[in-house]
Structure 1
Amino acid sequence: MADLQRRLAVLEDREAIRELDARYCRHLDQGQWDELADCFTPDGTFDGLSVVRSRSDLVRFFAGLAGTGLTAFWHHVSNLEITVLAGADEARATSLLWQPCVVDGVAHVAAGRYQDTVTRTPQGWRYQIKQVRFSYFAPLDQGWDQHRFTLDSARAAALLPLPDASGSAAAQTSEHATAPSQPAKPTATRKP
């Protein structure tokens, strides 16, 4: 009977983490910044278009996305793989992101993968780290197949080399691998 209870608890934990992802997407897409920050632990980190830690910085970062030209988005998360660590109040989750969005009035499409570390708190499961790495971020009319990026911050989040002044890809060192503290203004489409 104890094994059945343990298995049931793991299933309940996995479902609660799926619901956390659903709330994260809804709050993000609806601009509910305080509720979005509630999806994180008090010292939680978002690592994507920028690396942001703490509740106040999370609220400020996500509320400021419109100022970078990213004015609308619709997050779709699927293919969740959730591992609840035995004997711990921690889990790992990997999922697929597909995100149609609008950048400076132009329809874009983005996709990537989330790698999350989730912690059980008295309020339920919360993100300790929510990390996204983009596979592509491109104007919809130009397609996604060449892995085009129009946001330098998305390129940085994908850990791709940034172009140098001549337009050719420069080698990226580990110090440039971390996304900038503020999202970059969208630039002209370039192949990485």
Structure 2
Amino acid sequence: MIDDQRDIADLLYHYFQIVDDGLDEEIPSFFTEDGVFDGITGRMVIHQDLDKFVAGIKAMRDGAFAHMRHFTSDMRISVNGDTATARSCVLVTGKGTDGSFKIAATGKFLDTLRRTPSGWKFVERVAKVDGA
């Protein structure tokens, strides 16, 4: 179980590195075929709606979230066989339109995951932005 928790934590960290670094073509590899993201860009099945999802991320990167970085903390991961849930807090920094760096958002992620032959993947990733 400890190995599973470590692998899931690594997935969460790696996912944000991919998003922050603009490696959008790698995003589907973190989700099951029916995997859903539900957040400020809307609710969508990643493998079907990738273009829409990436357009939302790019709009943030090109606007108020330029040079965005996600910082994840306070993870609570529960594993039950080949399924798991994770809850984590997130702090997002970005370069504002005035050129200064600031906290762009805070919130939490509520994740449902499934073990697959290629490792743990998101079945559902729900972003809850504080104040939204």
Q: Same fold (TM over 0.5)?
A: yes
* Shift of residue 55, structure 1, vs aligned partner: 1.5
Q: Greater RCO between the two (CA within 8 Å, min separation 6)?
A: 2
Determine the structure 2 residue equivalent to 1:66.
58
Q: Distance in 1 between matches of 2:28 and 2:5?
A: 21
Aligned 1:42-121 pairs, distance under 5 A? 42-49=33-40, 50-67=42-59, 69=63, 70-85=65-80, 88-102=81-95, 104=97, 107-109=101-103, 110-121=105-116
Alpha carbons 1:33, 1:63 under 8 Å: kept: no
Match of 1:22 in 2: 13
Q: Give the Cα separation in 2 of the matches to 1:31 and 1:59.
A: 14
Deviation string for 1:15-35 (max 9, x for gaps)?
000110011010000011121
Q: Distance in 2 between matches of 1:59 and 1:117?
A: 23
TM-score when normalising by structure 2: 0.84
8 Å contact kept, 2:37–2:46:
no
CA contact (8 A) 1:43 1:55 kept: yes
8 Å contact kept, 1:25–1:75: yes
More strand by share: 2
Q: TM-score, normalised by structure 1?
A: 0.60
> In the alignment, is residue 130 of structure 1 matched against residue 125 of structure 2?
yes
Secondary structure of the 2:22 match is coil
Is the 1:46–1:58 contact (alpha carbons within 8 Å) kept by the matching residues of 2?
no
Identity of aligned residues (%): 29
User: Retained in 2: the 8 A contact 1:80–1:93?
Assistant: yes
- TM superposition shift of 1:65: 2.6
Larger Rg: 1
SS at 1:38 equivalent: helix
User: Which of these residues, 1, 22, 28, is aligned with residue 31 of structure 1?
Assistant: 22
Structure 1 residue runs of 5 or longer lacking an equivalent are 1-9, 137-154, 156-192
2:106/2:130 contact within 8 Å kept: yes
Q: CA offsets, 1:66-107, max 9 Å, x none? A: 33534331011111100001xx31001000101112455564
Instruction: Say if 1:37 and 1:63 are closer, same or farther in 2 by CA, change over 3 A.
Output: farther
